Structure 1
Amino acid sequence: MIRRWGGALLALAGVLATSLPADAGQGPVIRRTSYGIPHIKAADYQGLGVGLGYAFAEDNACVMADIAVTLSAERSRWFGPEAATKSGENNLVSDLYHQRINQSQVIERLLAAPRGPSRPARDLVRGYADGFNRYLAKTGAANLPDAACRGAQWVRPITEIDVWRRAYQVAAFDGGEAFQDMIVSAQPPGASVPAPAAAPLRRPEDIGSNAIAVGKAATAGGTGMVLGNPHFLWPDDWRFYQQQMTIPGELNVSGAGLAGLPLVNIGHNDRMAWSHTSSTVQTATITKLTLAPGSNTSYVVDGQMHPMVAEHVTVSARQADGSIAPVTRTLYRTPEGPVLEASGPLEWSGTNAFVLHDANAGNLRTIDQWLAIARSRNVSDLNAALIRHQGLPWVNTIAADDTGTSYYSDIQVVPHVTDELQARCGTGPEIGRVVLDGSRSACGWGSDPGTVAPGLLSPSKLPSLTRQDYVSNMNNSPWLANPAAPLTGYPAIVGNAGTERSPRTRLGLDMIADRLDGSDGLGTPGFTLSTLQATMFGNRNLTAEQGRQSIVAMCQANPTLVAHDGRPVDVRAACAALAAWNGRGDTGEAGRGAFLWRVFMNMARRPDINLWKVPFDPADPARTPRDVNAGNPDVRQAFADAAQLFAAAGVPVDVPLDAIQSYAGIPIHGCSGPEGCFNVISVPGAVGRTSEISHGTSYIMAAELTKTGPRMRSLLVYSQSANQASPHHTDQTRLYANKQWVTGLFTEQEIARDPNLTVRIVPS
């Protein structure tokens, strides 16, 4: 009895201690629970921002400093113009691109606009910068725990503008950020600056994500559930960071936000959970200019000549001798946006040039948008928040609430490009993006009443779906959010309908169907929190399920196959590796053969190869195409090519995934999206070449919304801190490797009971 009361008193003491800031008027408090997860509590938004900025700095001061250097266009000054950012862009290109934005004062203008960010958003940003700076002042750059920037001259206090620049960068991720090289390299014919080799046109599957929201008709307990599985970039500057944000009586939200943002982008409150996936919406279009005769920097609209605006952009760059010298580049723009160029179809010629028209170029609404999502009490509130702010950039939203209602929408920033406009004004080249004729003013974006900015489609024209069973998205268009209720009638710029879905989408729909009828071997039909977790880590591979056995039968009957170069290839070892493989993206002995299958699929899925026996059927889109056509000579040749590639690189065909994909030496299970994997892990590079994980499963959230509160399990795959010396650099990574989860702590009582709880008030 004494022991029982003692535990209760300790828990009560923890609750009282963690409630002090709101009750006693003290500063923001950081409560850290197991795995270093901070739960920030404050009396107002500015105090909340202080706690968030301080906690993030404790874990990732070098990440925030690096973000600030990038967005201040100072990478060439500190690291040299030829080096690269964490995401792989050339430093000089990055600096010139961001300096163009900074000297345009677009962020300052958006902040000063009558419909600019709200007071809570401004206070949150102001506090975040203050919190980071408090940590830096207390610790000192020379004493930072992370050797990556300890004592570095480029580590400095950050400003509110640095944080707003980060919000703007995230909004432009699928727009200007994706076209940096093409914008900086755009020069009139005859200029000495070379154009980039190709157009880096990002597709949704390049950044990816899965999300499933389950309603009461599909859950064992009649609750709502959400599985969030963003496949985002792994480099430090784009990491997710897990946190809880609490202002008593005003805001209480837990989840993960992108580094450098005082937000929860994917998470839950006490009654609703949500996630996002990369949308097929083209948030930026290309305008094809017709140049004026005799001028490479003037263009014609409705017969009238207009000069491009020349912008002289200067940045500082470190020279080989250590000195600093200015580098100036003249960039060009029109009122629609910057001129861009790539060799080939988007080349700036004597007759045509091309402009990027980005719908998010005026979007500084993201912080208010995600705050409104976090405050939503149900999916109806969420829908209203998306319509009110129209601030989500390039993502779908998938959610469920404690009434057992699931929700999908693609309500976000979408250019007003109707099908009629595309038919009337669409022009070449065919590059996978909408290209509009810039020689006619009637070919500009249209307008709708009720939008927060000109040139956007009204939310009423964008797809959404509310269901009691489920909705989902795995980066294909909205069409099959639920195959029982296909979404149609939206403009083509949002996405297609009636077309083949990716193997990953088909696998996701199959996983849901198997759970609903109980055929997945996980027990009684219907989702529970544990079966939602098990579904995530099943590591199924759809193409392997559809073809491994037939390929094995083929190669057992044909131990020698002919490669594309005409050479015979002994495929017996490769055949044996696939025969022994379990067909899943697992590490350890079970995963031997998984990488061979990945390489083979990369070769066999070429557009000129008929891979499937059963072709796509619009009447059966979730299950077609299917069955790998092992009898196709092209498929057999692809298998021979794969085996030949391993032999040439000196890599065993049964190399385990452990040797291919790891983080800090810890094997990472999962496989690539094009194979038809749900748990995506992407490792670029050829056979025999070691590469770091570029993107994939990052923050995972399985949440159940019950009438008594949320139940949540999560994993931040690369853990909370980018600092290799931190105890929280790999602690969650080890859990992920063993398919274990972190139990979410949300209420005051749950937080107080954590055995590793630490509580402290942020110093002033």
Structure 2
Amino acid sequence: MYLWQFDRPILKRKFFRFLAFILSAILVVVLANNSFATAPKTTEILWDTYGIPHIYGKDAPSAFQAFGWAQMQSHANLLLRLYGQARGKAAEYWGEEYLESDKWVLTMGVPDRSNSWYRAQSPAFRTYINAFASGINTYAKAHPDLIDEQVKIVLPVKPEDVLAHLQRVLYFTFVVNQEQVAGITHTQSEAGSNGWAIAPKHSASGKAMLLANPHLLWSDLFVWYEAQITAPGMNASGAALVGIPVLTIAFNDYLGWTHTVNTYDGWDVYKLKLADDGYLLDNKVRPFTTSKFLLKVKQKDGSLVEQPLLVKSSVHGAVVQEKDGFAVALRVVGADRPGVLEQWWDMARSQNLTQFQKVLKRLQLPMFNVMYADREGHIMNLFNGLVPIRQQGDYQYWEGLIPGDTSKTLWTKMHPYKDLPRVIDPPSGWLQNANDAPWTTTFPAVIKADDYPAYMAPRGEMDFRAQSSAKMLAEDPKISFAEMIKYKHSTKMELAERILDDLIPASQKYGDELTRRAADILAAWNRNADADSRGAVLFSFWWQEMDKNQTFSIPWSENSWHTTPDGLKDPESAAKALQIAAAKVEKAYGKLDVAWGEVFRVGSGNLDLPANGGDGDLGIFRVLNSAPSTDERFQAVAGDSYVAAIEFSQPVRAMALLSYGNATQTGSPHITDQIPLFTRKQLRPVWRTRIEVLVHLEERKTF
């Protein structure tokens, strides 16, 4: 009997299914080849079913223009509002609630510096920024009905607006922000991140792998935008913050990198002694330079009220406070480094470690660790940043208010690339950073703190999230791609792993009936913050009641980095804290063993799902930060945002997720479409070939 006689119905059905598969594959190839044939002559955006734009530019300016168009289609209202704020005119456009933002932007000199930075761009890259702004404006002209009326006042966007936005985001939010300066404190940034690089010797496939995992707010200028950009000499996938015209975390067929917020000091505040309308420096009176601005503030009736702003500046920087016979001036790195965007663009065009490092040596990027892996099997972590060369003091000293009456404290030069802490291809086969200092990026330690100036980065305790990060890498000698993704979603509380063996017996000894019931629940708990974990809420409430500086009897030690700190310093007080926490949990939720996902939620609009993950302070690698909502519940507002797992095989293998979706524009189906994957701890495939994109095509735009 021959197959083509179709004597069996099952064989017949299988044949036609096979035939249909072959015909569809042929169709895709034909479409792809036809598109390839036209690619050099046209520029396209192919939107996939998750709203990810795949941009095919006939040349670099065309790719930038298409990227501007794409960002407007997905985030027009947000982008224009951010650019309005970067101009320092948001109060004029939208009211008094933006007044402090405008004062900050103008005091920091952002609009004026954006003009000088624009002139300082290389001729080629200036045309790229022009093209990006043109794409924004072209979209706005084509689709005015899709843009809110109140933000149209920002149009047309100028190339200088792009650079002003870059400065506001990078220098005056990440490097230093208004809240830190108001309190004159180097409080830890709310922005966080995880990053891994795994060498072939440590991976199951024998290929290098990279994990990108920034933790940012899910709103405002922190929103990520995922894309693929293809142009001559460029084929990179990754993400940029909305309004930034280049990918800032990315990978191509050869290499990739991610950024983590580093333990870095790129700003200082100086106490200036006032004298004769000036300030003292080396026993001489120096005059302030002044700039006058006339702010316009929109009132509720639509009228404008003018408000003057006088900005005083010293050799240290702009004056941010003035009282009691002294002034406080803020000095920030990077005013002379206008090439940040071009550096990121060229990082994405690099094809090997040598090329990549050559780009990094420009030192245009003022901060962020660079975690790197490539197809040749190299891995690297660079403590990147513009680090001032200081004549004295350690890290803690420079976090305080610095004497400004002597030039001995006034830094003017930066450390070159060769001075920055860096490790390439460590013996361990792995690198990690969870916003810890460079000294703990791998074990056995490769970078020694004593080899660097005391002000380079802080020394001391490795927090629990970083410990969890390093432990997962150290304890698995051969990590597969699937395991890397599984580990990335770990909700295990490293703090609970460390302290429950002391807390439970202490509570049973010193506690009342309620405390002992709470201890029984903690004993049965799996020590994770999964949606169905019972005991996690109780434990997190207990930690809120504890004095963090008086919890442990054994301090952290580098020699025992994965088992310290440990031991309860005051078991009786810890039991009392559990009693208080248990009373609060029972009152709020009617039971002690309430599930984590009943209390912590994630969603938007009508979407309301149980969350998993939690604060990194608890030692959770899968970070999810929440804010109080209703009925004693908490709503996710920050944490895991853009996630990418990459294996540098041939072809590159990649999975990714943008937790909240790739759009904010009203009516887009992609505002929340990735949240269900997020709650299931899943990533989605990254489609990089044109054939893959065409199979999952949602929309096409040709220019």
What does 1:52-91 correspond to in 2, within 5 Å?
52-81=67-96, 83=97, 91=98
Aligned match of 1:493 in 455, 458, 464?
455
Shift of 1:288: 2.4
CA contact (8 A) 1:215 1:224 kept: yes
Match of 1:87 in 2: none
Match of 1:643 in 2: 582
- 2: CA distance between counterparts of 1:653 and 1:625? 28
* CA pair 207-605 structure 1, distance change in 2 beyond 3 A: farther
Shift of 1:77: 2.6
Shift of 1:645: 3.9
Aligned match of 2:323 in 337, 342, 348?
348
Match of 2:4 in 1: none
Shift of 1:698: 0.5
Amino acid at match of 1:108: N
Between Structure 1 and Structure 2, the one with more helix by share is 2
Amino acid at match of 1:578: L
Partner of 2:388: helix, strand, or coil? coil
1:271 aligns with 2:254: yes
Partner of 1:507: helix, strand, or coil? helix
Match of 2:226 in 1: 242
* CA pair 492-61 structure 1, distance change in 2 beyond 3 A: same
What does 1:20-59 correspond to in 2, within 5 Å?
20=37, 22-23=39-40, 25-26=41-42, 28-59=43-74
Amino acid at match of 1:475: N
Match of 1:541 in 2: 493
CA RMSD of aligned residues (A): 2.6
Match of 1:370 in 2: 344
* CA pair 299-150 structure 1, distance change in 2 beyond 3 A: closer
* CA pair 632-555 structure 1, distance change in 2 beyond 3 A: closer
CA contact (8 A) 1:271 1:709 kept: no
What does 1:84-483 correspond to in 2, within 5 Å?
91-101=98-108, 105-112=112-119, 116-140=120-144, 142-144=145-147, 149=148, 154=153, 156-174=155-173, 178-179=177-178, 182=181, 196=182, 198-199=183-184, 201-204=186-189, 206-248=190-232, 250-292=233-275, 295=276, 297-341=277-321, 348-350=323-325, 352-387=326-361, 389-417=362-390, 420-422=391-393, 433=399, 435-446=401-412, 455-467=413-425, 469-483=429-443
CA contact (8 A) 1:290 1:300 kept: yes
- 2: CA distance between counterparts of 1:327 and 1:422? 41
1:507 aligns with 2:473: no
- 2: CA distance between counterparts of 1:233 and 1:436? 31
Shift of 1:98: 1.9
Match of 2:5 in 1: none
What does 1:558-637 correspond to in 2, within 5 Å?
558-560=510-512, 570-572=514-516, 574-587=518-531, 589-590=532-533, 592-607=534-549, 609=550, 611-626=551-566, 628-629=567-568, 632-637=571-576
CA-to-aligned-CA distance 1:311-363 (integer Å, 9 cap, x gap):
3222211224432111123232213311123xxxxx7321x322111003333
| Structure 1: tracts of 5 or more residues without a match | 84-90, 183-195, 342-346, 447-454, 517-525, 562-569
Match of 1:744 in 2: 686
1:715 aligns with 2:657: yes
CA contact (8 A) 2:239 2:248 kept: yes
Amino acid at match of 1:483: F
Identity %, equivalent residues: 24
CA-to-aligned-CA distance 1:660-711 (integer Å, 9 cap, x gap):
34121233321101111111111245996656534311101100001x2210
- 1: CA distance between counterparts of 2:458 and 2:489? 30
What does 1:614-763 correspond to in 2, within 5 Å?
614-626=554-566, 628-629=567-568, 632-646=571-585, 653-658=592-597, 659-664=599-604, 665-684=608-627, 692-706=635-649, 708-723=650-665, 725-752=667-694, 754-762=695-703
- 2: CA distance between counterparts of 1:103 and 1:414? 21
Partner of 2:204: helix, strand, or coil? coil
Shift of 1:748: 2.6
1:552 aligns with 2:504: yes
- 2: CA distance between counterparts of 1:101 and 1:398? 30
Partner of 1:421: helix, strand, or coil? coil
Shift of 1:413: 1.7
Partner of 1:317: helix, strand, or coil? strand
CA-to-aligned-CA distance 1:122-161 (integer Å, 9 cap, x gap):
2322121111211111111x344xxxx3575546332211
CA contact (8 A) 1:661 1:668 kept: yes
Partner of 1:10: helix, strand, or coil? helix
Shift of 1:500: 1.5
- 1: CA distance between counterparts of 2:230 and 2:656? 19
- 2: CA distance between counterparts of 1:31 and 1:661? 33
Match of 1:19 in 2: 36
Structure 1 stretch displaced more, 709-718 or 322-331: 322-331
Shift of 1:174: 5.0
Match of 1:88 in 2: none
Amino acid at match of 2:664: A
- 2: CA distance between counterparts of 1:16 and 1:109? 45
CA contact (8 A) 1:396 1:408 kept: yes
Amino acid at match of 1:362: D
CA contact (8 A) 2:238 2:251 kept: yes
- 2: CA distance between counterparts of 1:542 and 1:467? 27
| Structure 2: tracts of 5 or more residues without a match | 1-17
- 1: CA distance between counterparts of 2:21 and 2:177? 58
- 2: CA distance between counterparts of 1:103 and 1:391? 17
CA-to-aligned-CA distance 1:607-627 (integer Å, 9 cap, x gap):
2x1x2343322322343213x
* CA pair 431-667 structure 1, distance change in 2 beyond 3 A: farther
| TM-score, length basis structure 2 | 0.90
- 2: CA distance between counterparts of 1:555 and 1:100? 54
CA-to-aligned-CA distance 1:174-194 (integer Å, 9 cap, x gap):
567502684xxxxxxxxxxxx
- 1: CA distance between counterparts of 2:525 and 2:397? 39
Match of 2:6 in 1: none
Structure 1 stretch displaced more, 404-413 or 639-648: 639-648
- 2: CA distance between counterparts of 1:550 and 1:654? 20
CA contact (8 A) 1:253 1:374 kept: yes
Partner of 2:652: helix, strand, or coil? strand
Shift of 1:408: 0.6
CA contact (8 A) 1:175 1:284 kept: no
Amino acid at match of 1:406: I
Amino acid at match of 1:571: T
Amino acid at match of 2:30: A
Amino acid at match of 1:383: Q
Amino acid at match of 2:525: W
CA contact (8 A) 1:169 1:177 kept: no
CA contact (8 A) 1:21 1:41 kept: no
- 2: CA distance between counterparts of 1:283 and 1:348? 25
* CA pair 720-555 structure 1, distance change in 2 beyond 3 A: same
Match of 1:452 in 2: none
Structure 1 stretch displaced more, 468-477 or 222-231: 468-477
- 1: CA distance between counterparts of 2:185 and 2:195? 26
| TM-score, length basis structure 1 | 0.83
- 1: CA distance between counterparts of 2:217 and 2:398? 22
Partner of 1:372: helix, strand, or coil? helix
- 2: CA distance between counterparts of 1:275 and 1:302? 44
